[in-house]
Amino acid sequence: MITICFHGAESTGKSVLAEKLSRHFGCPWVPEYGRTYCEERGTDLTMADLLAIAEGQAAATHAAAASNPALLILDTDQLMTAAWAEMLFGEVPDQLMAYPKADFYLLFEPDVPWVDDGTRFFGKGPLRSRFAGLAKDVLLRAGVPFRTASGNWAKREQYASNAIEEALAQV
């Protein structure tokens, strides 16, 4: 099984593409648990909330991986939760960096319009740029393989699809 994780700032197409490409490749995908958590409990988050989100994401990933699919697409993982911790609280708990990592990450640039869906925080220029930078820094700190996707929606979809095909070809 190969796991591909979508990573990056809010409103960069991760959720839409994860679902769409899972259909294209005929594989399961793991939605973002943090969205569900915030829709149910609100967005006034504490570090304890982020740790609970990380655990919920891990449980969802574990459940999806149980059938051992050839490909598993993750809308996000605990490395993105680590970027949230850094952005919101200025620190990253070690346990967020200790979770198992995906085989490959696609980092989505914030060069498409931001859409407020009620659970998003950082849509304004400097905040969005800072959050995107922290997301990239977390990947670098973790030492995981990643490629960057940018451009309009169609361009990033094609790029992500090609990157997944390349990753599958290497298995």
What's the one-letter identity of residue 31?
A: P
Can you tell me the distance from the alpha carbon of 108 to that of 112, in angstroms, rounded to the nearest whole number? 10
pLDDT tens per residue, range 6-57: 999 877 888 899 999 999 999 999 999 998 898 899 888 999 999 999 999 9
Distance CA 44, CA 135 (A): 20
Structure tokens at 102: 């995906």
Asked if pLDDT for residue 83 goes beyond 80, the answer is yes
Which strands make up the sheet holding 29-30, listed edge to edge? 29-30, 71-74, 2-8, 104-108, 146-149
Please count the structural domains in the chain: 1
In this prediction, residue 129 has a pLDDT band, given cuts at 50, 70 and 90, of confident
Mean pLDDT over residues 79-84, rounded?
95
2 — phi, psi (to 5°)? -115, 135
Using alpha carbons only, how large is the chain's radius of gyration in Å? Answer: 15
CA distance 146 to 144: 6
Rounded CA gap, 144 and 141, in Å? Answer: 8
Domain that holds residue 149: 2-169
What band does 59 get if pLDDT is binned at 50, 70 and 90? very high
Question: Contact 6/73 with Cβ under 8 angstroms?
Answer: yes
Q: Where are the alpha helices (DSSP H) in the chain?
A: 14-25, 33-41, 47-65, 78-89, 94-98, 125-142, 153-169
The enclosing domain of 69 has a CATH number of 3.40.50.300
Say what the pLDDT of residue 11 is.
76
